[in-house]
Amino acid sequence: MLRIGELAERSGVSVDTLRYYEKEGLLPEALRGDNGYRYYAADNLERLHFILRAKRLGFTLADIRELLSLQVDADAHTCEEVKRVAEDKLAAIDARLAELHHMRQALAHLTDACCGGPHAATQCTILTAFANGKTAPEPLQHRHDA
């Protein structure tokens, strides 16, 4: 059995994080000693490492709760179910990457249009674009010669 401080130290998370994970159901409720201290089984360290690895890959606590439920009752679930959760996260990451790429293009367009000179910012094209709501790159206009 590990006291909450020992588990926090071994896992690299704060005591407050452990309490939060317990409150959110990611960690089983700790046993309480006569002294009021929380005591956790040693296998909770492995569970915490699982949670932290999943967090590093972008899984939300709700996603992790689902993964943990699949792991706890692994005989009743399939690899297909686990893969679906992972593929859903991958699709969300791909969507976010596309969004970030668009944001980068828009910002690059704005910074390329700005001279960056020493004159007053009242003439700054970046500030003007933000004020006018034109922060996205303009689509290319094709001339059609008749």
Span 12-38, pLDDT tens digits: 999 999 999 999 999 998 888 888 888
Q: What is the pLDDT of residue 136?
A: 60
Rg of the chain taking only CA atoms, in angstroms: 25
CB-based burial, 112-126: b 16+ in 10 Å, e otherwise? eeeeeeeeeeeebee
Using the predicted structure, report yes or no on whether residue 143 has a pLDDT greater than 70. no
Closest by CA position to 10, among listed 1, 22, 2, 20: 2
Q: How far apart are CA 16 and CA 113, in angstroms?
A: 47
Q: 94: alpha, beta or left, given left = phi > 0 and alpha = psi -120 to 50?
A: alpha
pTM for the model stands at: 0.72
Angle at Cα 72 formed by Cα 67 and Cα 74, nearest 5°?
85
Using the predicted structure, report yes or no on whether residue 49 has a pLDDT greater than 80. yes
Residue 38 burial class via C-beta count within 10 angstroms: exposed 0-12, middle 13-18, buried 19 and up: buried
Residue 145 pLDDT grade (very low, low, confident, very high; cuts 50, 70, 90): very low
pLDDT tens-digit map of 66-122: 999 998 888 888 999 999 999 999 999 999 999 999 999 999 999 998 888 888 888
Residue 141 pLDDT grade (very low, low, confident, very high; cuts 50, 70, 90): very low
